[in-house]
Amino acid sequence: MDVSSLIGIAVALIGIIAGQLLEGGYVGSLVQGAALLIVLFGTAGAVMVQSPERVFARGVKMIRWVVVPPEFMPQRIITEITGWSFSARRDGYLSLEQHADLAVDPIARKGLQMLVDGALPEELRQAMEVEIFTFEDYHRQAARIWEAAGGYAPTVGIMGAVLGLIHVMENLSNPALLGSGIAVAFVSTIYGVGLANLIFLPVANKLNVLITRQVLLREIMVDGLVSIASGESPRTLESRLLGYVTIQRPDAGGL
C-alpha cells in the first residue's frame, strides 16, 4: 500500500486550510455544496463526452492504483527468467511448456509458448513488442481521463463563478441573497483549480509513472525471452537483466 499519495493530499489540504485561518477566514466559507456540484459533475460530464464508455470506466477503476499500486518486483521477474533459461539449456525448449502453463502474465505465457514452438529470436521480439504496445496503450488511454479532468475542471470552475455572478445580478434588489451568490462564484473557481492541481493532474501523473514501471517489467520479460531464444547463457542473461534494476547499478549511488 502506498500511503504517500494520501499524505500528499492531506498536506495540501492542511496548507490551504491553515492559510485560510491565518488570513482571518473560516473553514466554513470554503464549503459550498452548489459549487462542488457544478465542478464535479461538469468535469465528469466533459470527460465522459470525450472518452469512450469503457475507457472512462477503466480510468475510474485505475484510481485505486494511486493507493494500492500494482506489484513492481523486477528482481523476481529476472529470477524467473533465469530459471527458464537454465531449464531450456538443460532440458530443451520443450521443457518450457510447463512453465507456460503456470505463467500468470499473458505476455510471459505467450512468449514461452512461442519458444516451445521454435520461434526465431526476431520473430519473438516482434510479437512481444506488439503485446507491450497494446498493453501500454490500453492503460495510457484510461489514465488520460484524469489529465482531461485536470484540463476541464478550472474552466468548469469559471463557469460556476459566472453562474454565481448571474445569481448575484438577479438579486441585486435583495441584499440577503448576494452573499451566497458571491460565495458560490469564488468558491467554484477554487474548487476547479484546486481539484485540477491537487487531485486530477497528480493522479494522472502517478498513473503514468506506474504504467511506465509495468511496461519496464514487460520489457525485461521480452529481453529475457529473446535472449533464451538466442541461446545466451543463463548467468550472462541474469547479469545483463540486472542492469534494468537501478539499485543494482554502480552509478545509482544506492538510491
pLDDT at 179: 63
Question: Is 188 within a domain?
Answer: yes
Domain membership flag for residue 78: no
HSE, side-chain direction, 13 A CA sphere, residue 188: 26
Q: How many structural domains are present in the chain?
A: 1
User: What is the helix (H) or strand (E) element at residue 120, kind and residue range?
Assistant: none
Is 161 among the domain residues?
yes
Q: What is the pLDDT of residues 17-75, one digit of tens each?
A: 888 788 777 777 778 888 889 999 999 999 999 999 999 999 999 999 998 898 888 89
**How many Cα atoms within 13 Å fall on the side-chain side of residue 111?**
31
User: Helix, strand, or coil here: 156?
Assistant: helix
Range of the domain at 172: 32-73+123-248
Most confident of 126-140, 154-168, 231-245: 126-140
- Is 189 contained in some domain? yes
Q: Is residue 164 part of a domain?
A: yes
Length of the chain equals: 255
Question: Per-residue pLDDT averaged across 71-86, rounded?
Answer: 90
Identify whether 138 is part of a domain: yes
CA dihedral of residues 135, 138, 139, 142 (deg, nearest 10): 180
**What is the Cα–Cα distance from 200 to 61, expressed in whole angstroms?**
14
Domain assignment present for residue 166? The answer is yes
pLDDT in the model for residue 99: 87
Q: Evaluate whether residue 104 is within a structural domain.
A: no
Taken in order 26, 27, 28, 29, is the CA torsion positive or negative?
Answer: positive
As a whole number, mean pLDDT of residues 221-235 equals: 90
